[in-house]
Amino acid sequence: MKIISSSLAVPDHVPSQCVWDHNLAAFLREGNDPYLAASRLHKGPGVIWVPTAAHGRPAWIFTQHKLIDEGFTDWTAFSSKRGSNAAVMDPNWLLLPVEADRPDHRFYRQALNPLFSPAAMNRRVTAVQQLCDTLIDAFIDRGRCEFISEFAGILPNAITISLLGLPTESLTQFVDWEEEMVHGATPELRMAAGKAVIDYLKDHIAREQALPEASTDIMQAILKGRMAERPFNEAEILGLVYLLFVAGLDTVYSTLGWIMRHLTLDQALQARLRDNPDDIPAAIEEFTRAFGVSAPSRTVAKDMMFHGVPMKAGEAVLLPTYLAGRDPTAWVDPHRIDIDRRPRHITFGTGPHVCLGVHLAKREMKVMLQSFLARMRNIRRPTDGRYEFHTTNTIGVDRLDLEWDPA
């Protein structure tokens, strides 16, 4: 162990030039744009070792698009199984299919893939549109809203609980739990919220198992799923349901927030998308390139040299999508939003673990853009409007006041 300072000890195999002794969340909060703040890391090494990166514990962080891509795709070097530095959770079960490697991963994905395909999402788009319209109806005549609490924080949560057959009247409680799990001030608070969700979901699963004919198609697929020659066990069912409950909630609402904030700053793009709604899918690809919000984790699977950097089995690795999407070696003028760019980005991951909910997330973004642009003109931030964001676990907008002119 190398003693760098009175407060920092570094494992002997970590090169001194890779040590980055900063608080990542605080670093990203410097200024009013966390993407510009994060991009300063592109000027340094492609691999850095950060003593408090993973829930207050050490982790490697890849800062370049090509290295992050490799971290996603090379599952033999970077395992998706939970390591010792992952979030504090019961080690007896895994978040599935995220925390599974081949060959097990294939069985979990096979159970769910048909229900999250583009065709399946097309069948669900009516429900997304109806909820979107209902939310907008509540504030459209007012001429202003707080976008996160009145729309973005509700839409993906409500859609997710409907997919799992959870009661809509409990939405507020679910949102509170999710907020505490992701952004709780201490590990103890995050763990308590996570345990409350787990206890609730265990009861829900038991009710669904007692009356499987009343389950949603997704719950039925999970309850009937098989690992090769056997049914999924109780821990696997819980892991699948828990992941579907939490995955995408923070990421989707955060992405919606950054998209809407950008549109308030770019009236020309607003007008283009309003007049040419066929351009919205291309805009979504560019928005998701530029506004990656997460830093998925991996675990070093074996002692190895990675691009000249020695790594030890069991060490944590973070793959920030917000760094991949703004890397100047991968994108020309990466901070400029150009919907004609047609990027092949990795914000939803790549390789076998590409995000299961990618098509649902894109549908939600598309419906949101179409609905707001069709019903409002000159969407903007009021002069006294609030804009606040967080940088803990994800990069997300917490408050975004909007006002508009009638359509």
pLDDT, tens digit (0-9, with 9 covering 90-100), for 362-384? 999 999 999 999 999 999 999 99
Q: Do 87 and 71 meet the contact criterion of CB atoms below 8 Å apart?
A: no
Cα–Cα distances in Å, from 237 out to 72, 221, 224, 231, 244? Answer: 25, 10, 10, 10, 11
Q: Does domain 2-406 have CATH number 1.10.630.10?
A: yes
Looking at residue 31, its pLDDT comes to 96
Phi and psi angles of residue 193, each rounded to the nearest 5 degrees, phi first: -65, -40
Q: What is the pLDDT of residues 388-404, one digit of tens each?
A: 999 988 999 999 999 99
Phi and psi angles of residue 146, each rounded to the nearest 5 degrees, phi first: -100, 105
Q: Do 348 and 72 meet the contact criterion of CB atoms below 8 Å apart?
A: no
Q: Do 343 and 331 meet the contact criterion of CB atoms below 8 Å apart?
A: yes
Give the range among 176-190, 302-316, 334-348 with minimum mean pLDDT.
176-190
- Whether the pLDDT of residue 150 is over 90: the answer is yes
Instruction: Find the mean pLDDT for residues 246-270.
Output: 92
- Whether the pLDDT of residue 289 is over 50: the answer is yes
> Considering the chain, what percentage of its residues have pLDDT values greater than 90?
79
Give the range among 98-112, 133-147, 267-281, 367-381 with minimum mean pLDDT.
98-112
Q: What is the pTM of this model?
A: 0.94
- Whether the pLDDT of residue 305 is over 80: the answer is yes
Structure tokens at 103: 């060959």
Looking at residue 207, its pLDDT comes to 95
DSSP 395: -
Q: How many CB atoms lie within 10 A of CB 298?
A: 24
- Whether the pLDDT of residue 3 is over 80: the answer is no
Instruction: Find the mean pLDDT for residues 291-311.
Output: 97
Looking at residue 85, its pLDDT comes to 44
Q: How confident is the model at residue 84 (pLDDT cuts 50, 70, 90)?
A: low
Phi and psi angles of residue 16, each rounded to the nearest 5 degrees, phi first: -60, -35
Looking at residue 34, its pLDDT comes to 98
- Whether the pLDDT of residue 284 is over 60: the answer is yes
Cα–Cα distances in Å, from 180 out to 87, 142, 195, 342? Answer: 13, 30, 11, 36
Q: What is the pLDDT of residues 163-210, one digit of tens each?
A: 999 998 888 888 888 778 777 778 788 888 888 999 999 999 999 999
Q: Do 109 and 97 meet the contact criterion of CB atoms below 8 Å apart?
A: yes
Looking at residue 88, its pLDDT comes to 46
Pick from 41, 47, 51, 74: nearest CA to 61:
47
- Whether the pLDDT of residue 1 is over 80: the answer is no
Q: What is the pLDDT of residues 204-228, one digit of tens each?
A: 999 999 988 888 999 999 999 999 9
- Whether the pLDDT of residue 157 is over 80: the answer is yes
Classify residue 363 as exposed, middle or buried by CB count within 10 Å of its CB (0-12, 13-18, 19+).
Answer: buried
- Whether the pLDDT of residue 141 is over 70: the answer is yes
